[in-house]
Every structure is written in structure tokens, then in C-alpha cells.
Amino acid sequence: MKPLLLPSIPLVLAMLPLAFSAGAAEKVAVSLGTATPGGGFPVYGQAFADTINELEATLEVKPQTTKGSTENVPLLEAGRIDLGLVQGEAAMEALNGIGRPPADLRILAAMYATPGMFVVRADSAYRTIDDLKGKPVAFGAKGSGLVILARYVLDGLGIDRDKDFEAIFLDKAGDGPEMVMSGKAAALWGAGIGWPGFTAVAKGPAGGRFIVPDAEAITRIQAKHPFLKTLTVPAGTYQGQPAPIVSVGSWSFVLARPTLSDDIAYKLARALHKGEGAIAKRLAQASETTAANTAAAAPKRALIHPGVLRYLNEIGLAQ
């Protein structure tokens, strides 16, 4: 039997860097700003990250907790995060320079539509928005874009969010449902399909009932704020909700810093498109995160990241 020939120690040492570089495959880390625990953004952010990380071997999306939309925008502008989840009205104000200079940010993807609603305990006497005036209402976490949505919706009705209610602004979005269920707050404001705060109250001991503007009120709101769209929450979305709910709201977006490379944005868009079924299985409202919705929901084509546009063009959606 021939003796086993082993490589020399110098040769082994010389090969080590090659072995490590090949094995590590050096994934590019992509940071994603979400929001405070207990709200919809951290849940969505995890589904977003898991889907892309499963389908794109060269990237690793890493969600991180933030104060929400109003913090994600300046973090993106400063280049401290690569991507950020931003609620529709917060995105609209930032991109259009309302109350601030216009933000130089780009749309990576449309997340989901966010029809705004109040939820109250089902055994309460509250039936209309006017019934809630003067009552303690939890409007969400301080940095949440949902707080901005509430301001626009109520302003369209001639109601001041901060003066006409005992407005409560939370440190953590997850604190809101317990306040309603315990009676510390008459109502919780939120938005969207599968929103955790609504789910928690609807499944609570007393159940939940949703309060939205009626048809005449929606007309008034849209006359003053036409960017708010009529949106529907399908029947059965929440426990004890037998009929569809119609309200107003807008699309939330995954925004990117403008210096995010076209190649990374392209890969993110491609993975999201391939993973549309996978992300929908992970989270119901993420079924609206589609390439088609991104192309349709962007206010202007120029606001979509060039790398995403390149991918949308390849699949025939960037017209």
C-alpha cells in the first residue's frame, strides 16, 4: 500500500484564505428599519426578511427595531439603514416635502394598503367617531405613520386629533390593545388587514367592533385630502367581523436610501417577485406585496429605485 501523502503545512496555510472566502460566500447585509414591538411593521419586516433571505443567496436582510415611520425616514436619509418601512402618509409627506424638505428616497416595494379604523370593545356604547370625542383614544406609537393618517382622516371631518380626544401616544404599539380591553382607553386607532392591535382586541374577552367614517364622511375627507383612497377590509378579516369595512387610507412602502446600489435593489425586487406566494403564506397582508402593486402604487415612476425599475421592465411592468 502506498503511503498517504499529506499536503505540507505551508500549503495548508496558503489554502486557508481561499477555503474561508469560498465557504462564507460573503452575503451582503441589508438593514431594514421596522418599528416598535407589537405593531404591524416588525411582523411584516420579519416576513419580508425571511422571504428574501430564503430566495436570494447573496443577501441577508436584517430587520431592526426603530420608532417607526417618522424615524425611518431620517435614518434612511442619513444612510444609517438601507431600507425602511414607511406608512403611506409619512411617505407622502417626506417625498413631497410637506412640513420638511423633500426626502431623496426611492421606493423599493409597495407593502400593503392601510385603511384607517378605530376598534372599541364590542360591549361598549361607542358606534361613531363622534361618540369617541372627549374620550381617551390610543392613536398609536409616537413615531408611527398611523398617527399621521389619523390626523388627515380626522382633519377631513373637521376634527382635531389632539384637541377633540384625550389623545394617547404610546411608547410601544403593543401597549394599545390592553388599554382598550382593560377600559383605560375607549378606542385604539390603527390600519390595515391583519394589523396585530386589531387582532388582539377582536380576540379579547369582550371582542371588538370597528368604527370608520360613513360614505358621506369619506366624501368629505377625500374632498379635502384627495390622496386618501377608498379601501376595503374584506369580511372575516378579523374575528367577529361579518361584513366588509370601507374606509380611507393609502399604501405603505418599503423605501430605500438613494445610494443603495442598483444591483442590490434589483436582487431584492427579483426575490420579492419570486417569493410573492411565500411572503403571503407568512403574513396575510403581505399578499399585497407584489411587483404589480409596486408599479401601480408608486405616485411617480421616478420615485421607484432604478434597480427595481430594471427588474419591473424585464417582467413587463415598468410601462
Residues with Cβ within 8 Å of residue 229, at least 6 apart in sequence: 113, 248, 249, 250
Q: How confident is the model at residue 143 (pLDDT cuts 50, 70, 90)?
A: confident
Say how far apart CA 91 and CA 251 lie, in whole Å.
9
* C-alpha distances out from residue 50 to 44, 57, 141, 221, 311, Å: 10, 12, 25, 38, 21
Q: What is the pLDDT of residue 10?
A: 52
Tell me what the mean pLDDT of segment 118-137 comes to. Answer: 98
Whether residue 2 is contained in a domain is answered as no
Tell me what the mean pLDDT of segment 290-306 comes to. Answer: 95
Residues with Cβ within 8 Å of residue 207, at least 6 apart in sequence: 121, 122, 123, 201, 239, 240
Whether residue 259 is contained in a domain is answered as yes
Contact between 91 and 69 (Cβ < 8 Å):
yes
Of 250, 268, 288, the domain-final residue: 250
Tell me what the mean pLDDT of segment 176-201 comes to. Answer: 95
Q: What is the pLDDT of residue 305?
A: 98
Whether residue 21 is contained in a domain is answered as no
Same domain for 99 and 149: no
Q: What is the residue range of 53's domain?
A: 27-113+251-314
Contact between 157 and 247 (Cβ < 8 Å):
no
Q: How confident is the model at residue 21 (pLDDT cuts 50, 70, 90)?
A: very low
Same domain for 102 and 206: no
Same domain for 185 and 121: yes
Give the pLDDT confidence of 67-125 residue by residue, as tens digits: 999 999 999 999 999 999 999 999 999 999 999 999 999 999 999 999 999 999 999 99
Least confident of 15-24, 78-87, 98-107, 134-143: 15-24
Same domain for 203 and 244: yes
- Domain of residue 158, CATH code: 3.40.190.10
Contact between 138 and 179 (Cβ < 8 Å):
yes
Same domain for 227 and 124: yes
Q: Which amino acid, 25?
A: A
Same domain for 282 and 305: yes
**Helices (DSSP H) in the chain: which residue ranges?**
9-24, 40-55, 69-77, 88-96, 145-155, 176-182, 196-202, 215-224, 262-274, 276-282, 291-297, 306-314
Whether residue 81 is contained in a domain is answered as yes
Residues with Cβ within 8 Å of residue 297, at least 6 apart in sequence: 110, 251, 253
pLDDT at 292 over 80: yes
Same domain for 156 and 238: yes
Same domain for 199 and 124: yes
Same domain for 126 and 220: yes
Same domain for 217 and 129: yes
Whether residue 8 is contained in a domain is answered as no
Whether residue 6 is contained in a domain is answered as no
Same domain for 242 and 170: yes
Whether residue 224 is contained in a domain is answered as yes
Tell me what the mean pLDDT of segment 253-281 comes to. Answer: 98
Of 250, 280, 303, the domain-final residue: 250
Whether residue 156 is contained in a domain is answered as yes
pLDDT at 202 over 50: yes
Of 216, 231, 250, the domain-final residue: 250
Q: What is the pLDDT of residue 13?
A: 46
